[in-house]
Structure 1
Amino acid sequence: MRRHFVHFLWGFLTVLLGFIAVFFISVWNGWIGYMPDMDELSNPIDKFASQVYSADQQLIGTWNQDNNNRVAIDYNGLSPHLVHALVATEDERFYEHSGIDFIALGRAIVKRGVMRQASAGGGSTITQQLAKQLFSEKAHNTLERLLQKPIEWIIAVKLERHFTKEEILAMYFNYFDFLHNAVGIKRAANVYFNKEPRNLNVTEAALLVGLCKNPSMFNPLRHPGRCMQRRNVVLMQMVKSGYVTKDEYAELSQRPLGIHFTKAKPVNGSADYFQAFLRQYMMAKKPERENYQAWQNRQFVLDSIAWEQDPLYGWCNKNTKRNGEPYNVNTDGLRIYTTIDTRMQQYAEEAVRKHVGGYLQAQFNLASRYKKNAPFSSNISRRTIKEILNRSCRQSLRYQRMKEQGATPEEIKRSFRTPHEMTLFTYHGDIDTVMSPIDSIRYYKSFLRAAFMSMDPHTGAVKAYVGGIDYQHFKYDVVMGGRRQVGSTIKPYLYALAMQNGMTPCTLAPNVQRTYGGWTPRNGSRARYGQEVPLRWGLQQSNNWISAYLINLLGPSQFVNILHDFGLNNPDIDKNTGPVLCLGPCEVSVGEMTSAYTTFANGGIRCAPLFVTKIEDSHGNVIAKFQPLMTEVISEVSSYQMIDMLRAVIQGGTGSRLRYAYHLTADIGGKTGTTNNNADGWFMGITPDLVSGCWVGGEDRDIHFDNTAMGQGATTALPVWAYYMQSIYADKRLGYSQNTKFSIPPKFNPCQAADTINVNGIQEEYF
């Protein structure tokens, strides 16, 4: 009996060992679970990340699975204290094992698994932790985590076979997220100590290594006491490993944390909004109506147009690799060459920050002190404000997660009114505070938003793209993603239609207030009231009565048609076919407006935005090239006439402060725009080589300046354009000069045309 039992045990052990062997062989070869191939292991940080380059040959970003744009450094860029602290704390036999420390693993199994000692320590090596960070998804339960462990062991062994110990340490530090947008050790050293990793001293290195255990729990900004305790634990481990003496520990453990916090900033010119837009744009799928909500009909139409007309939209799903699968920008190692110029991008971001963040926001905050409903307008009711805030709550990630988890409406409401620890944006750097989510929503609504885009009117190349005031905290992109009412910036399209119908800048029109089908437009000025005034003067002064006269004369349907030719494809334009359309109530994106204005600077031909010039595969083969998409909208003569009128806006009209306040002497045309209640401020500016557009406003239309002097486009948006162009002209490397003129024939007379017409009973003579 005993012999049979022994045989049974030996048999069971043999079967068990055989099962374990088969299991590990299956895992090793990827038959069970996920096992990255050898090529992927050779570049585990990026996992075949796509690289995004600017037009001036700068790497502005990498796209991978975890969405982190880290800046990697090699082992030589690490402080020795970092290496000593990590090895002493996480893996004291790191240099002795080949990926798995069987001594530590056995100790963990006995003490944690059998004896249930929570403080017994783990058995994972640094290499195993790296394998987990790189290749393991977050486990949802204990069983799933247990199944991940063998996979991580094998990946760790393979990592050890393919990389030196030094490379593994560098990868570990480059990958880890230290919070506060400090992904990777370079960003962490910059953010917490304003240093490079190689210059960190022993206490600074110990602090950062201490964060590796749990960065949220030991956050030095929120929990400095807890962080210091953890730092000193790391220092004590360094004592045990012989990297620090006991006498040194006695002194080092008493030192303050020494935090010199600096908000993580993107690499200059990295264009975060642009990268986020481009990534989504290229990965878009063919629009299917069932994938859109009922209220998203407009977006479905716009996406459908983009799918048919723009090769870049949905490029990954329109093209396939050799194996027949569609491309993926996160895993296929593409090299994407964009039209962004990092220098111009930096100037655009600085211009937005300088005016909107440095001046305009301070003025808005000052005005809000006297508003009981701040930051909302005094003209709306508390009930309306409550509806706006409730809608924002429902759209928040917190609300959606709680609803998915089955929370009741009362629980959700209580959560939004309960103070929580949070990090808030300010223009002077992030701050940690305690605030209820509903109050934080109201706080963020107090910030004015802005968007800016600049492009070459002859090639369509987008040189600068600023979708908002700060990507980390305000991710909504108003350049291509958002649309706002355009106000008077729509008027040049109407005047272009007039030029196409035989009028000239000198054609006279009655400057009187009239009623058109029950609609009586108002005007901000009664200058020259009752007179016959030239159209040039009408656009220069942004006169609403002249615009109403023209759309009544030419017809709203003809105006709608030319708006589509200019690239304004919002289906809402087709619904709003009354004469009021001439004052810009329709919603358009900054990108569409900027593209439309290229028509005037490019001889009547509109250039669609060109974001990418070419794409290469991971082997450097060119797999796609992109050319500008151009459409003739108006005649060349009409474009010259429009330049004449847009120049007048700058010379003596609503854009004249570019001359007397910002001292720009270049050949400039432009148009300001302001919508009802100053909700939206616009400026569109054209030069011979650049067309740029800017919008400034609140997140909601009920957030705005209550007085026109501060809320008009000439005050809110025009200065951003001015600061940007000042920087462009000052940087001689870029090749832009204020002496460059529009390419108009020297003897061209804008008041002459090809034939003789009769407008409003006035005979005019043309050559």
Structure 2
Amino acid sequence: MATNKKTNTVHDFKYYNKKFWKFFFYGMGAIVLFFLFASWGLFGSMPSFEDLENPDSNLATEIISADGVVIGKYFQTNRSQLKYSDLPKNLVDALVATEDERFYEHSGIDGRGTLRAIVSLGTNGGASTLTQQLAKQLFHGEGSKFLPFRIVQKAKEWIIAIRLERQYTKNEILAMYCNVYDFGNSAVGVSSAAQTYFSKTPKELTVDESAILVGMFKNSSLYNPIRNPEGVKNRRNVVLGQMEKSNMITNDQKEKLKKLPLNLHFKLESHREGTATYFREYLRDYMKKWAETNKKPDGSDYDIYKDGLKIYTTIDSRMQLHAEKAVTEHMANLQEQFFIESKTNKNAPFVGISEKETNRILRQAMKASNRWTVMEAMEKSEDEIIESFNKETKMTVFTWKGERDTLMTPMDSIRYYKHFLQSGLMAMEPQTGNIKAWVGGINYKYFQYDHVAQGARQVGSTFKPFVYATAIEQLNMSPCDSIIDSPFTIPVGRHHVTETWTPRNSNNTYLGMVTLKKALASSINTVSAKLIDKVGPEAVIKLTHKLGVKTEIPAQPS
């Protein structure tokens, strides 16, 4: 009977050594191939050299006043571009100390941090450098939760980070990172965040304010100063601790700063709120027309919401604030008095009109409302729509003491808003024609009608310079020429006059012989009538239109 013997093979050290190195080199080769394939785009597209040179940043267009202040923006994403020189040192210090303390030592990948993350399986924090985070923000966004896809994304992130480090300086990378991060509340980038949360420019940020913003880089949704002030304060203190650990502030400074409240000055940037709202809306329409006739160097269209244009205006931000304050204070006082007087008026706010006329005005307002438009689109009958205007509903209404939540019918709200007195103010520099202040109404959010651009008024004596200009042009007169100030009549039939027209001076006095300069300065009516009689209304109208007035003007001397 045959006997089977088991033979145990004993391998020496050289055998295992050979196996180890074979495994090691194959593994390294596989890793190298993996990264090469990723860089070649086999696992999905990679940004080209041009993409790295010009990353899509979707910048807001800024409206800049004559004194250099940003008075508004047009945007889909509220982001403004900053250079490194625009960033305060305390913010840069806080960012590096908290997010990437070896930022100035690595070339996009932090080897030490990566090894630590691998050994601890990520329990002691990740190893993403600021450059890697920038790569993620610019080119692929939040990573996948599916592990294989996440590994591929991480590899691509490393490759892009290395390319970014080759393409840009450290300071440029820091500035780019600060420009693309979304801080919530429609604030993208440090510039918008500083304005939204603190009503400051980045350079004006204090150490504790910079620490708040840097703390938000971890998770702006979680560390939102409006929704989670206590969490933000704790996170700010962590950032201050990191700054002290990196010798950027002293322990005493850290302890003092940790005791400070958040000191927020939150102001959501909106197209309907802020400074010069009526002017900004007028300018928006102007820029849209400008963009139709002015193309980019490559022939494509400008987009005022994405192309980061800088629009320089003649508005003076200081004069604009004074103008808005003057309108607010004056109109609030007038409105208070008007409300008092309206208490005894059963048809308030209307005065001296019939019930039929009142109903016509209210019905016109109903049809112009958003409620009517929406319900009509829903194919509701006219009776149903009108009935809805008499049902109480919750709404927020404008008052001179701030917005107020209340309960009223839409019809009552129409009457309520009809109570408000309106106003328009425009300040122009006579020597240049530059507009320095523009207040189109009392509150753009609630009253969009622009009383500067759209409001029509009786021009009165402000039209007289056009008459004098026509006389100087047509009759070769000069401001020093004299004319008699005396009673004057234009008979029926002359210049299309249907009734005899005899203008009078405001004080019923006549000065005799006066120069044109004196007559215009004193706004003498008889002299204006004599001049328009000599040149004819048509010539005055022609020159007025030539000077830019688009309104249709009747050919009448008065």
| Paired letter, 2:547 | F
1:274–1:466 contact (8 Å) kept in structure 2: yes
1:368 aligns with 339
Which amino acid in 2 is paired with 1:316?
A: N
**Residues 273, 465 of structure 1: 8 Å contact kept:** no
Where in structure 2 are the equivalents of 1:326-725 lying within 5 Å?
Answer: 340=314, 345-346=316-317, 348-371=319-342, 381=358, 384-385=361-362, 387-388=364-365, 391=368, 393=370, 418=394, 446=420, 448-455=422-429, 457=431, 462=434, 464=436, 466=438, 468=440, 478=450, 482-489=453-460, 491-492=463-464, 495-496=467-468, 499=471, 506=485, 508-510=487-489, 540=523, 554=536, 560-570=541-551, 573=552, 577=554
Contact 1:79/1:198, CA 8 A, preserved across alignment: no
**Equivalent pair of 2:426/2:438 in contact (CA under 8 Å):** yes
- 1:234, distance to aligned residue in structure 2 (A): 4.9
1:160 matches 2:165: yes
TM-score (norm 1): 0.43
Q: What root-mean-square deviation, in Å, do the aligned CA atoms of Structure 1 and Structure 2 show?
A: 7.2
Residue 85 of structure 2 is aligned to residue 74 of structure 1: yes
Aligned to 1:200: 206
- When residues 348 and 237 of structure 1 are mapped into structure 2, their CA distance, relative to the original with a 3 A threshold, is closer
Contact 1:190 1:262 in 2 (8 A): yes
Equivalence for 1:188: 194
CA distance in structure 2 between the aligned counterparts of 1:205 and 1:194, rounded to whole angstroms: 11
Superposed displacement of residue 232, structure 1: 1.5
Q: 2:182 matched to 1:209?
A: no
The count of aligned residue pairs is 481
Match of 2:262 among 230, 251, 257: 257
Return the alpha-carbon distance in structure 2 between the equivalents of residues 75 and 23 of structure 1: 36
Deviation at 1:358, TM superposition (A): 3.2
User: Structure 2 counterpart of 1:508, which letter?
Assistant: P
Give the distance between the partners of 1:192 and 1:13, measured in 2 at CA: 47
What corresponds to 1:27 in structure 2?
Answer: 45
* Cα distance, 1:487 vs structure 2: 0.6
Change (3 A) 1:217 1:433: farther
Q: Deviation of residue 540 (structure 1)?
A: 3.6
The whole-number CA distance in structure 2 between the counterparts of 1:443 and 1:492 is 36
Mapping 1:168-317, distance limit 5 Å: 168-173=173-178, 179=185, 184=190, 188=194, 192=198, 200-202=206-208, 204-212=209-217, 220=225, 222-223=226-227, 226-236=228-238, 243=245, 256-259=261-264, 281=286, 284=289, 316-317=294-295
Q: Distance in 2 between matches of 1:105 and 1:417?
A: 61
Letter of the 1:229 partner, please give it. Answer: G
Q: Is the CA contact 2:423–2:440 (under 8 Å) kept in the aligned structure 1?
A: yes
Give the match for residue 36 of structure 1: 51
Map residues 54-73 of structure 1 onto 2, 5 A cutoff.
66=77, 68=79
8 Å Cα contact 1:512-1:530 kept in structure 2 = no
CA contact 1:107–1:123 (8 Å) conserved in 2: yes
Q: How far off its partner does 1:485 sit?
A: 1.0
Give the whole-Å Cα distance in 1 for the aligned partners of 2:210 and 2:200: 13
Cα separation, 2, equivalents of 1:70 and 1:375: 51
Query: Is the 2:108–2:158 contact (alpha carbons within 8 Å) kept by the matching residues of 1?
Result: yes
Aligned-pair identity in percent equals 20
Letter in 2 for 1:227: P
| Secondary structure of the corresponding residue to residue 485 of structure 2 | coil
Contact kept? 2:94, 2:214, Cα under 8 Å? no
AA partner of residue 164 (structure 2):
L
Q: CA offset at residue 539 of structure 1? A: 8.7
Query: How big is each residue's C-alpha offset from its partner over 1:591-633, in whole Å with a ceiling of 9 and x where there is no partner?
Result: xxxxxxxxxxxxxxxxxxxxxxxxxxxxxxxxxxxxxxxxxxx
The equivalent residue for 1:303 is none
Distance 1:383 1:272 in 2: 31
- Displacement of 1:377 in angstroms is 5.3
2:13 is aligned to: none
User: Unpaired segments of 5 or more residues in structure 1?
Assistant: 1-9, 113-118, 286-312, 404-408, 584-767
2:488 aligned counterpart, secondary structure = strand
- Looking at structure 2, the residues matched to 241 and 375 of structure 1 have their Cα atoms a distance apart, in angstroms, of 63
- Assess if the C-alpha contact under 8 Å between 2:62 and 2:309 holds in 1: yes
Q: 1:346 to 1:233 in 2, by over 3 A?
A: closer
Cα deviation, 1:372-403, whole Å, max 9, x if unaligned, reads: 7999655674773575376353799xx89x99
Do the aligned partners of 1:71 and 1:174 also contact (CA within 8 Å) in 2?
A: yes
